[in-house]
Amino acid sequence: MTNAIIPEFQLSAQTHAGNVALKVLDLPKMVQFYTQVIGLELLVNDETTAALGTGTTPLLYLYQINGARALGQRTGLYHTAFLLPSRKDLGNALFHYITTNAPLSGAADHIYSEALYLTDPEGNGIEVYRDKPRSEWIIKEDGEIVSDTLEIDAEGVLQTADQQWSGFPAGTQVGHIHLSVADTSATQDFYTQILGLSLKTSFGPAARFFATGGYHHHIGANTWESLNAKALADNESGLKYYSYYVPDQNELDRIAQHMDQVKLNYRQTEDSKLWFIDPSGIVGRFELQP
């Protein structure tokens, strides 16, 4: 069934990226990596699942599967991006990653942020970043937020550190989720015309960035490694789902009503979560802000 298009629908500006869930092949190894290397705290753990975050806030869920890594191209996660509260926090993270020989794969200045990139033991991408003050962002009249990939001032970042690393600080959140998709045009139509995000930046035909409110992006989507790819199978490791946090029940109800209007095939579970699947077969959900 073709979805109706109601372009005037917009998600609340308070709706933002929430958490990420991964299917993993070696749960103990992945828990150890995300706690001892990356900086998350283990909140809940049993033989098959783990919840990690900061304080009492879950940011990452890990689910043990008896399967295998995907062979060939798949849609799913490009990286989970953990947003730190300050440049000092990013400096402490960088100092920790360097001194522990963490698997850093890159770093960049994106004009609106400074970012570090890593890869976990099962090939899932990770970004750890801090936002620059919004007064330093370049925002065009049409709302586009200018981005680039420039060399990071690593020395400047390190100079802000006090080298008192004890993991990610309180206030860390999933700032955005970057997806590997099969088709950016279909993805743009879905996230803007169906879900109600705004397009913030485009990089040619292969990358799009979407957000609510005035943020640079809550969702990134690219085809750099996944053009026309299939979705992950249930027994393949990688992204299980990702979530958006919604500020209150009224907004969640408004989203459900909109999904009914556009005839989006979704399901609502007893805990009020709204589950959907995007055009690349990637599972997402809306849930109340914890």
- Pairing type for strands 49-54 and 113-119 reads unpaired
CA-to-CA distance for 106 and 121, rounded, in angstroms?
16
Give the class (CATH, top level) of 16-288. Answer: alpha beta
pLDDT, position 2: 38
The whole-angstrom separation of Cα 270 and Cα 256 is 14
Q: Domain residues of the chain, as ranges? A: 16-288
> Residue 41 corresponds to which tokens in the numbers above?
């705290």
Q: Which tens digits make up the pLDDT trace of 3-46?
A: 444 458 999 999 999 999 999 999 999 999 999 999 999 999 99
Q: Characterize the bridge pairing of strands 173-180 and 16-24.
A: unpaired
Q: What is the pLDDT of residues 208-258, one digit of tens each?
A: 999 999 999 999 999 999 999 999 999 999 999 999 999 999 999 999 999
Tokens 């073709």 correspond to 2
Give me the pLDDT at residue 3, please: 44
pLDDT for 63-82, tens place per residue? 999 999 998 899 999 999 99
- Residues of the chain above pLDDT 90, percent: 94
Task: Give the pLDDT confidence of 124-159 residue by residue, as tens digits.
Answer: 999 999 999 999 999 999 889 999 999 999 999 999
Q: What is the mean pLDDT of residues 261-288?
A: 96
Query: pTM for the full model?
Result: 0.95
